[in-house]
Amino acid sequence: MYRNWLILAGLVVTIAATAQPKLPKDYHWQKFDNGLEVVVIENHKVPLATIEIAVKNGAYTEGPEYSGLSHLFEHMFFKANKDYPDQEKFIARTEELGMIWNGTTGDERVNYYFTFDKDSLNAGLRFMNAAIRYPIYRTEDMQKERPVVDGEFQRGESDPGFQLWIDVNKRCWGDNFTRKNAIGDHDIINTATPEKMMTIKDKYYFPNNSLLVICGDVNPSDAFAQAKKIFGDWEHGGFDPHVKYPIPEFKPIEKTNYNIVVSSIAQTPYTMYQWQGPDYRNDSAATVAADVFSAILGLNSSKWQQALVDKGLATYAGVSYQTCKYVGPIQVFAVPNPAKLAECHSTILKQIMAWADDDYFTDEQLQTAKDILRRNHIRNAEKPSTLSMQLTFQWCSTSLDYFTAYPDDLQKVTRKDIQQYIKKYITGAPFIAGMIINEEMSKQLQPDSFFTN
C-alpha cells in the first residue's frame, strides 16, 4: 500500500492513501494534505450555497462519563469563537449573511450547516472555519446552554414512546447503552465543564476526522480553491481517533427479554420489539435488504398491515432499521388497540415468525417497495440544501461508495437476500420487548400474563 508522509509540529504522521471514491454526477471530491475530505455538489437550481462539516463523533464515542456531551458540544458550536467572542456577535454575523443554520447530533455523526446566498461563499467558509477550529467555551455560556440541552431531554421524557425507547435500549445495549443514546444523561449534562468540551475537541475535531461539503450554485474549482485556502492549514490530529479511542463492540443479546413499564403518561399502551441488526462493517448487503423489507412491510397491502391495522388490532404497526457502522437496531413499534392487547401481541409474534416464508410478500410488492425507495431518493435530491446532510450521514456510518451505489443496490435486492437477512437477524435471534401502559389499564388487561418471557 502506498503511503503519504506528512510532517506536522515535529510529528511524523502516516496517512494511508485514499482511492478516489465513486460519486454521482456533479459530485466532486478532493482530499487535502491534512486529511480533510471535501465534496463539492454542483447544483444550480437556486442561487444559494450550503456548507456543512460532519465529524465522526456522537453517542457511539461516549462512555457513561460523557453521555450527551457530544450534543452539548454541538450546541456550544453556535456560541463564541476567536472571530466572534460572544454569541451576540455570532448571531449578528449570521444575520448579516442571511444564513439559515443548525446542527444535529446522532449516534455516529455530529454535523453543522449554513445556507446562504452563493455570493457569500467565502464569508461562509471563513465563518465555519472560526467556529469549528477556534471555539471558546465560556463558563457563563455553558451555564445558559446546559438547561437548554437538558430541556430537550425532559421534553422527550414527557412522551411515553420515548420512555419505552429508553427502557428497551437500556436492555438491548447493556453497559454500552450510552453509545446509542445521543440525548445523554441529566447529571452529566448539568455538570458539564469547559474542560470536558475541550476533551471532546481534542479527541475528534480534526480535519482527518471530518468531511466538508459545499453544495449549491457554485463552481467546483473555485469552491475547492477557497476551501483549501481557508481550511488547508487546519492541523492534522496526528492520529486516527477511532484507532486511538476504539469503539467497544456491542455485546449480543443473550436471550429474549420482556419488560412492562407502568406510567401515568401512557394514555394508551405502546409496544416495542428490538433486535440487533446488521452493520456496514460486517454485512453491508444486509443493510440494503433491511431497508427494502421495511418498505414492503409499510405497504397497505402487506400481510403485516392487513393482520394488525386492517383487522383493528393496532392503530399503527411500523418496522424500521437504522443503518449504522456499529450494529444497526431493527425495531417494531406498535400502538395496540387496548381492547385487543393480548391478541395484538400474539399476532405480532406470529407474523414475525412468518416473515421469511416464501409467500409472505409477492414479487409485485417487492418491486413496489423498490419503486417507493427510488422515488424517495429522487424526491430527496430535489432540495439542494439537504443534499449535504444525506451525504455526510453515509460518510460517517458507511462510505461515499455505499452512498453512490445505494439506489442501484436497492434495485438488486432479491427475495433470497431478504430471507437471509430475516433468518440471520430476526427469526433466528433473541430480542428485547417492552410495553408502556398506565396503572388502570395494567390492572384491567393484566399484560404480565402474556407479555412475558
Q: Who wins on pLDDT, 453 or 446?
A: 446
In this prediction, residue 159 has a pLDDT band, given cuts at 50, 70 and 90, of very high
Distance (Å, whole) CA 251 – CA 314: 32
Q: What is the pLDDT of residues 308-336, one digit of tens each?
A: 999 999 999 999 999 999 999 999 999 99
Under DSSP, the state recorded for 35 is S
Q: Taking CA 134 as the corner, what is the angle to CA 132 and CA 139, rounded to the nearest 5 degrees? A: 105
Cα–Cα distances in angstroms (integers) from residue 33 to residues 225, 233, 244, in the given order: 13, 9, 21
240 lies in the same domain as 275: no
Strands 432-437 and 270-276: antiparallel
pLDDT of residue 357: 98
pLDDT of residue 453: 87
Decide if 138 is inside a domain: yes
Q: How far apart are the first and last CA of the chain?
A: 52
Decide if 76 is inside a domain: yes
Decide if 250 is inside a domain: no
Which parts of 19-83 are beta strand (E)?
27-31, 37-42, 48-55, 80-81
Which parts of 9-130 are beta strand (E)?
11-16, 27-31, 37-42, 48-55, 80-81, 100-105, 110-117
Strands 37-42 and 210-216: parallel
Distance (Å, whole) CA 108 – CA 128: 21
Cα–Cα distances in angstroms (integers) from residue 259 to residues 176, 291, 315, 443, in the given order: 19, 28, 22, 16
Region 116-131 average pLDDT: 97
Could you tell me which residues come within 8 angstroms of residue 45 by beta carbon, excluding any fewer than 6 positions away? 217, 384
Distance (Å, whole) CA 49 – CA 226: 14
CB neighbourhood size of 367 (10 A)? 11
Distance (Å, whole) CA 136 – CA 85: 7
238 lies in the same domain as 265: no
The CATH number linked to 439 is 3.30.830.10
Could you tell me which residues come within 8 angstroms of residue 285 by beta carbon, excluding any fewer than 6 positions away? 409, 417
282 lies in the same domain as 395: yes
Query: Cell triple for residue 156?
Result: 422527550
pLDDT over 90 percentage in the chain: 91
Instruction: State the amino acid at position 52 in one-letter form.
Output: E
* Final residue in a domain of this structure, among 190, 212, 244: 244
88 lies in the same domain as 151: yes
H helix and E strand count, the chain: 17, 15
Distance (Å, whole) CA 296 – CA 307: 14
On the question of pLDDT at 352 being above 60, the answer is: yes
pLDDT over 70 percentage in the chain: 96
On the question of pLDDT at 199 being above 50, the answer is: yes
Decide if 11 is inside a domain: no
143 lies in the same domain as 232: yes
At 296, give phi and psi (nearest 5°): -60, -45
Decide if 17 is inside a domain: no
Q: What's the domain count of the chain?
A: 2
* Final residue in a domain of this structure, among 244, 272, 291: 244
pLDDT of residue 381: 87
201 lies in the same domain as 273: no
Decide if 6 is inside a domain: no
pLDDT of residue 18: 63
The least confident of 43-47, 56-60, 137-141, 270-274 is: 137-141
Region 93-101 average pLDDT: 95
232 lies in the same domain as 337: no
Query: Cell triple for residue 139?
Result: 463558563
On the question of pLDDT at 94 being above 60, the answer is: yes
Decide if 8 is inside a domain: no
CB 261 within 8 A of CB 409: no
Q: What is the pLDDT of residues 233-254, one digit of tens each?
A: 999 999 999 999 999 999 999 9
In three-state form (DSSP H/G/I as H, E/B as E, the rest C), the secondary structure along 384-421 is HHHHHHHHHHHHHHCCHHHHHHHHHHHHHCCHHHHHHH
Distance (Å, whole) CA 334 – CA 410: 26
348 lies in the same domain as 204: no
Decide if 12 is inside a domain: no
Q: What is the pLDDT of residues 396-449, one digit of tens each?
A: 999 999 999 999 999 999 999 999 999 999 998 999 999 999 999 999 999 999
Distance (Å, whole) CA 74 – CA 16: 29
Domain residue limits at 346: 257-449
In this prediction, residue 204 has a pLDDT band, given cuts at 50, 70 and 90, of very high
Strands 432-437 and 11-16: unpaired
Under DSSP, the state recorded for 238 is S
CB 403 within 8 A of CB 391: yes
On the question of pLDDT at 14 being above 50, the answer is: no
Region 168-177 average pLDDT: 98
* Final residue in a domain of this structure, among 244, 270, 287: 244
On the question of pLDDT at 298 being above 80, the answer is: yes
**Closest to 115 (Cα-Cα) out of 30, 218, 205, 221:** 218
pLDDT of residue 8: 34
Q: Taking CA 234 as the corner, what is the angle to CA 54 and CA 123, rounded to the nearest 5 degrees? A: 70
At 333, give phi and psi (nearest 5°): -125, 125
The least confident of 86-95, 207-216, 277-286, 411-420 is: 86-95
Question: Is the pTM above the cut of 0.85?
Answer: yes
